[in-house]
Amino acid sequence: MKRFLPFIAVLVAMLIWAGSGIAVQQALHVFRPLTLIIIRFTISVLLMLPLGLAFRRMAKRTGNKHLSMLALQPLEKRDIPLFLLAGFVEPVLYYISETYCYRALSSPTIAEVLLSTGPLIAPFFAFLFLRERVTRNNIIGIVISTMGMLMLVLVGAQNFDLGNPIGILLALLSVLCAVMYTILIRKIPERYSPLSVVFYGDLVALMFFYPIWGFTEAHACLTEGWVLNADPTQAWQAIAYLAMFSSVVAFVLYCYSVRQIGVTLANAFNNARPIFTALIMLLVFNEQLPLGKWVGIALVVIGLFVCQKREKPRLKNE
């Protein structure tokens, strides 16, 4: 069972992130984009600080290694540059490039396709920076699951106009940031728990986001009000989901998985996100799925199974 924990963890992370898009859309009806981001990450940092300190005390008292996974370790001076880089790459640079990518590209479908290419390039970066072994099954599985992901995104889509070339570059920058973030997670020393990695990353992100917000949306918030809608109840519920689950639980689970199964495999599971999004739309909003999307779901599942299948060692006389 222990062998499957990293895979269960990364699937739960993808399920949480699949619902994030819906939550963001609800919150943006009430809050400005950067205002939403700083509220979200401020809440997540304020949640992780007491939680991490409490788990650290319990881990020291009981000696339980499982509790130490959620303990907040003090940041050592020599590791500050690495955390600064990780926090700047994601969330800061990733969120900014992704947001303006959607604005620049005329087709959200094309944006989703470009933003979903991470699993295809992750093996090359994992090998280049970490010398992480990439097997034939990894490559075959990633290709199969990516084909399924493309079917999920493209079936039923209407607009395929590429739009502004700057948007394409921003989409590719977002993908690069997401992959580099997983590389940096592996580079961060193992003595830092997954919660510590996420906490310090979010803290760094706020150091960048608050000045940006101050130059862009702060004046409008102070003069025109923080909320754009008379009834912000649903928006606050969405922010609670984003802060607690998307920014804390999902990132902690993803960090744990990356450390256990590597960059290549963890990134391959990003192809499962459109499955969960499609199923959420089906179960919650009763949006029916055409046959092509069901085929896409099947391909993604098959590809993920192939991707994690261990290759049999060759005999010496073969």
Note the pLDDT tens digit of each residue in 124-159: 999 889 888 888 888 999 999 989 888 887 777 665
Give 3-state DSSP helix, strand, coil % of the chain, rounded to 5: 80, 0, 20
- As a whole number, mean pLDDT of residues 43-64 equals 92
Collect all residues with Cβ–Cβ distance below 8 Å to 131 and sequence separation of at least 6. Answer: none
Give the model's pLDDT for residue 313.
52
CB atoms inside a 10 Å sphere around CB 12: 16
pLDDT in tens, 92-116: 999 888 877 877 776 666 677 777 7
Please report the pLDDT score of residue 1 as a whole number: 64
Question: pLDDT grade, residue 316 (50/70/90)?
Answer: very low
Confidence of residue 318 (pLDDT cuts 50, 70, 90): very low
Residues in Cβ contact with 73 at an 8 Å cutoff, skipping those fewer than 6 apart: 56, 191, 192, 193, 196
Upstream peptide bond of 33 is cis (omega within 30 degrees of 0):
no
Structural contact between residues 256 and 6, judged by C-beta atoms closer than 8 angstroms: yes
pLDDT, average across residues 240-252: 94
Which of 119-128, 208-217, 307-316 is predicted most confidently? Answer: 208-217
**Structure tokens that stand for 9 in this block:** 């963890």
